[in-house]
Amino acid sequence: MVIETGILVAVVAVVVEAVKRFFALDSRFLPLLAIVLGVATAYIQNLNIFVGVLIGASACGLYDFGKKTVLGK
């Protein structure tokens, strides 16, 4: 279950980044989008909704960590 959850975090982070680039979504809505996508993926995978919230929150943190580490911002 841990490996699948980690993969879902990466998938949610990639989808949020794609939505941001293709649809020019305001950055203040990205965490909300990540949490909604996390809950949706948890529902599809028959996981707890709380796990979905954690997936979305982790995806936000993963994105911010990568942005600060790789881009140096």
Q: Are 16 and 67 in contact (CB under 8 A)?
A: no
Q: What is the pTM of this model?
A: 0.79
Residue identified by tokens 């980044």 is 17
Q: What pLDDT score was predicted for residue 22?
A: 92
For residue 33, the model assigns a pLDDT of 92
Q: Please give the C-alpha separations between residue 48 and each of 17, 25, 72, in angstroms, as whole numbers.
A: 24, 28, 35
pLDDT tens per residue, the chain (73 residues)?
678 888 999 999 999 989 988 998 778 888 889 999 999 999 998 888 999 988 998 888 876 666 666 665 5
H helices of the chain, in order, are 2-23, 30-44, 49-70
Q: Which of 11, 8, 3 is nearest to 52 (CA)?
A: 8
Distance from C-alpha of 33 to C-alpha of 70, rounded to nearest angstrom: 23
- The residue extents of the domains of the chain are 2-70
